[in-house]
């Protein structure tokens, strides 16, 4: 309640979110306060005048949330992955007009995300939106869930009518990266943000490392620069168009060069085939990657980007060589 009151007082928050049913990776972790939390949320709504939002994972959750006057629902990442659960939630929503936001599934599968949206559309949910919370990946990473912005932009292209908000808390997993992820979302024209807040972060029963005090949350929000989508000034338009045509030209050149590179790859495939040599020559590839990464500073291209780029090129090369290998 203290957190809610402080947030409401700032006038900078539109909706209060609280997960009362929390799907946790390990049993024995705090799994949410459960249904009694709905009455607490209803009190927070009354005290602050702000609408309240809760995560639902089953039809039963939806029924209880509607009973207590919850104003907005969201489907969590662990639920979006499961069509049975999404369908169960959808059935319980039939005939209600509550807005529903769908988080991306844990893994980078846009069809599954779109499928969840379609299940809700099919039962007549009209006010729908998306939440980007990043994608789970194996191994060490800067983020708890990698943002993979390009996938989200692709999802937006598929479903342009849906508003989309970003959840930097679950992307970052710690409070230090929140500001930069929130700004990136603003720069990509997201429609809003969902951020976790706790009046005493170290005492939070889940995700303590990513909680912000209400004061820090407001500071973060105020520091975001929500730029305009476009500017009407002719000077701006002219410059933009000139630079865009340069980009188009470079893209065409890049692709033409890549295409030539792949031709050579194929020719190498032919001589490897004729001499019964394997496609993969790990040391040669390590050498190439190392040489390129060593140049990252000079090229002003991040090592992360160069890694992804070179991996993509390598995969395409292997598949091209695979084709010729088996052509004899
Ligand atoms: C949450 O929003 O608190 C949550 C558990 O997030 P996600 O479904 O993105 O893991
Ligand atoms: Mn959380």
Q: What is the pLDDT of residue 328?
A: 63
**What string of DSSP letters covers 56-98?**
E-SHHHHHHHHHTT--EEEE-HHHHT-HHHHHHHHHHHTT---
Four-CA torsion 288, 291, 292, 293, nearest 10 degrees: 120
Q: Which two tokens stand for residue 43?
A: 């009190």
Could you tell me if the CB of 133 is within 6 A of ligand 1? yes
CA distances from 223 to 133, 168, 172, 179, 253 (A): 21, 15, 18, 8, 39
> Any bridge partners for residue 130, and if so which?
102, 164
Domain 2-223, CATH number (from 2.60.120.380, 3.30.70.141, 3.40.50.150, 3.20.20.70): 3.20.20.70
Q: What is the pLDDT of residues 157-200, one digit of tens each?
A: 999 999 999 999 999 999 999 999 999 999 999 999 999 999 99
φ, ψ (nearest 5 deg) of residue 105: -65, 165
Q: How far is the CA of 67 from the centre of ligand 1 (A)?
A: 23
Cβ burial 253-270 (10 Å sphere, 16+ → b, else e): eeeeeeeeebeebeebbe
76 within ligand 1 shell (Cβ under 6 A): yes
Q: Which two tokens stand for residue 9?
A: 């007082």
The whole-number pLDDT of residue 102 equals 98
Cα-to-centroid distance, 207 and ligand 2 (Å): 5
Distances (CA, A) of 63 to 92, 122, 152: 7, 19, 30
Q: Give CA–CA dist 42/20, Å, rounded.
A: 12
Amino acid 279: pLDDT: 78
| Ligand 1 close to Cβ of residue 173 (< 6 A) | no
Its pTM surpasses 0.95:
no
With contact defined as beta carbons under 8 Å apart, do 145 and 170 qualify? yes
Q: Report the separation in Å between the CA atom of 206 and the middle of ligand 2, taken as the mean of its atom positions.
A: 6
**Separation of CA 19 and ligand 1 centre (Å):** 8
What the block records as the tokens of 181 is 């992820």
The CATH number for 234-325, chosen from 1.20.59.10, 1.10.3720.10, 3.40.50.1370, 1.20.1250.20, is 1.20.59.10
Indicate if ligand 1 lies below 6 Å from the C-beta of 77: yes
Parse the chain into domains and list their residue ranges: 2-223, 234-325
Pairing mode, strands 164-166 and 128-132: parallel
Q: What stretch of H or E contains 164? A: strand 164-166
Does any ligand 1 atom lie closer than 6 A to the CB of residue 214? no
Element (H, E) at 40: helix 36-48
Q: What is the pLDDT of residue 156?
A: 96
Distances in Å between the Cα of 263 and the Cα atoms of 31, 130, 255, 321, 327 are: 55, 42, 12, 10, 16
Give mean pLDDT in consecutive 10-residue pieces for the chain, a chain of 328 residues: 97 96 90 96 98 98 98 98 98 97 97 98 98 91 93 96 98 96 96 97 93 97 91 89 96 96 94 86 86 93 93 92 82
């Amino acid at each position: 309640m203290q957190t809610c009151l402080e947030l409401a007082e700032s006038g900078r928050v539109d909706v209060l979110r609280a997960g009362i049913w929390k799907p946790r990776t390990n049993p024995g972790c705090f799994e949410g306060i459960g249904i009694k939390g709905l009455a607490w949320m209803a009190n927070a709504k009354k005290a602050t005048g702000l609408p309240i939002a809760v995560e639902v994972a089953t039809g039963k959750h939806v029924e209880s949330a509607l009973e207590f006057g919850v104003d907005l629902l969201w489907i969590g990442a662990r639920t979006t992955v499961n069509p049975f659960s999404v369908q169960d939630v959808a059935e319980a929503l039939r005939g209600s007009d509550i807005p529903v936001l769908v988080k991306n599934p844990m893994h980078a599968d846009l069809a599954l995300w779109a499928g969840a949206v379609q299940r809700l559309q099919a039962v007549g949910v009209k006010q729908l939106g998306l939440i980007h919370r990043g994608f789970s990946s194996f191994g060490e990473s800067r983020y708890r869930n990698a943002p993979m912005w390009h996938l989200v932009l692709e999802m937006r292209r598929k479903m342009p009518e849906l508003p989309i908000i970003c959840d930097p808390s679950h992307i970052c997993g710690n409070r230090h990266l929140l500001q930069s992820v929130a700004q990136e979302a603003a720069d990509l024209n997201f429609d809003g943000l969902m951020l976790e807040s706790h009046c005493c972060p170290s005492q939070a029963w889940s995700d303590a490392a990513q909680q912000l005090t209400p004061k820090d949350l407001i500071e973060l929000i105020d520091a975001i620069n929500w730029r305009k989508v476009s500017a009407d000034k002719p000077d701006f338009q002219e410059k933009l168009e000139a630079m865009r045509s340069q980009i188009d030209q470079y893209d065409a050149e890049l692709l033409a060069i890549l295409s030539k590179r792949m031709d050579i790859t194929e020719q190498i495939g032919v001589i490897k085939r004729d001499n019964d040599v394997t496609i993969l020559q790990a040391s040669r590839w390590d050498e190439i990657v190392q040489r390129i990464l060593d140049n990252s500073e000079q090229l002003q291209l991040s090592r992360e980007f160069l890694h992804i780029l070179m991996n993509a090129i390598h995969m395409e090369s292997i598949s091209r060589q695979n084709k010729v290998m088996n052509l004899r």
